[in-house]
Structure formats: structure tokens, C-alpha cells
């Protein structure tokens, strides 16, 4: 059984595709790709079928992380069963995602940067224009997420 990890933001063009690509790269660099089912989705429907924002594509290219083939989609109820970790970029994403997943609350659904010391929302570069800040925070969060998943695995085995 693969470990399912879904990253969630509002538009699925800036933050969650960035986190998805960073997490996929991290897992790949550790030779663990086969163990994971990784995806991202938005709570909004404005960008369905679109590729990631140019700012996200450029920032990831700067760090040699691929974005080919990534397309925006909206979160759906079946995602709740498919994924073990539903990792939201900010608190409003959690509030919007829960009813779309058909649930009231779940420990599966949490905020990426609640895993780091300086617990906070991932700032949205669609509005801030600062893709570097978002990249660094997503990277820190994704490292913490992989550590949490490894710790969860150990405690369940
Ligand atoms: P994201 O950023 O949630 O990080 O993908 C946004 C992208 C698009 C919009 C809002 C946020 N929008 O309103 O179209």
C-alpha cells in the first residue's frame, strides 16, 4: 500500500503544486518514490486544467525541480479515502476542504506549517508575489512532513 499525500491550496496553481513538486523531489532523492502516491488539488475551480503559475514554474526551475505535466484540479470527496495525509497551505483551505471531502474534521487534514517551529500559513505568492519565500517555507514544511510520515510508520510497525 502506497502512502497517499495530497497538498491543498485555493487555486492549485501556486502553493500546492510547489509543495507537491518539492515533496516529490525530496522523496525521489531518498529513493522512496515507489512508496508514495503524491498529488495536489485546489478548493477553487477557477484554474481547473491549467498548469502551475509561471512564478511557481520559474522558482522550481531555479532549484532544478520539474513541473512537467502538472495540471490544476479541484479537491473531491474520493480524495478523503485515497490519501492518508491531506496537507493544506492555510487555515481557510482546511475550512473549505473539509465539507468538500464530506467530513467535519479529521487528523488526516492539517496545515503544512503546523509541522514546523514557527507555525503559520504558507503565504500565497499569487497575492504577495514572493515565490522565494513560499518556496523556502514549503521546503521546510515538506522536510518536516517526510519526517512525520517516517515517525508515523515506525509507530505503526
Ligand atoms: P494558490 O494561489 O491557492 O496558491 O494556487 C491562488 C491562485 C489563484 C487564485 C487565488 C489563489 N485565484 O483567485 O485565481
Taking only the tens place, the pLDDT of each residue in 59-89 is 999 999 999 999 999 999 999 999 999 999 9
Residues with CB under 6 Å of ligand 1 are 9-15, 46, 124, 126
| Among 7, 144, 129, CA closest to 56 | 129
Write out the residue range of the structural domain in which residue 99 sits. Answer: 3-156
Count of residues making up the chain? 157
Atom of ligand 1 at shortest range from CA of 15: 4
pLDDT in tens, 128-156: 999 999 999 999 999 999 999 999 999 98
The CATH number for 112's domain is 3.40.50.2300
Phi and psi angles of residue 143, each rounded to the nearest 5 degrees, phi first: -65, -45
How many structural domains are present in the chain?
Answer: 1
Decide: 55 and 131 in contact? Cβ < 8 Å.
Answer: yes
Amino acid at each position: 500500500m502506497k502512502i497517499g499525500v495530497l497538498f491543498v491550496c485555493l487555486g492549485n496553481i501556486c502553493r500546492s503544486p510547489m509543495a507537491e513538486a518539492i515533496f516529490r523531489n525530496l522523496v525521489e532523492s531518498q529513493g522512496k518514490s515507489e512508496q508514495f502516491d503524491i498529488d495536489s488539488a485546489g478548493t477553487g475551480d477557477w484554474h481547473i486544467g491549467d498548469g502551475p503559475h509561471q512564478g511557481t514554474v520559474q522558482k522550481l526551475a531555479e532549484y532544478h525541480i520539474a513541473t512537467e505535466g502538472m495540471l490544476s484540479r479541484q479537491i473531491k470527496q474520493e480524495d478523503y479515502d485515497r490519501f492518508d495525509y491531506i496537507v493544506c497551505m492555510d487555515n481557510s483551505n482546511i475550512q473549505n476542504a473539509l465539507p468538500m471531502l464530506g467530513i467535519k474534521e479529521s487528523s488526516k487534514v492539517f496545515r503544512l506549517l503546523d509541522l514546523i517551529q514557527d507555525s503559520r500559513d504558507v503565504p500565497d505568492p499569487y497575492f504577495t508575489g514572493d515565490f522565494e519565500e513560499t518556496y523556502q517555507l514549503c521546503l521546510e514544511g515538506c522536510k518536516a512532513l517526510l519526517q512525520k510520515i517516517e515517525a508515523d510508520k515506525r509507530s505503526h510497525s
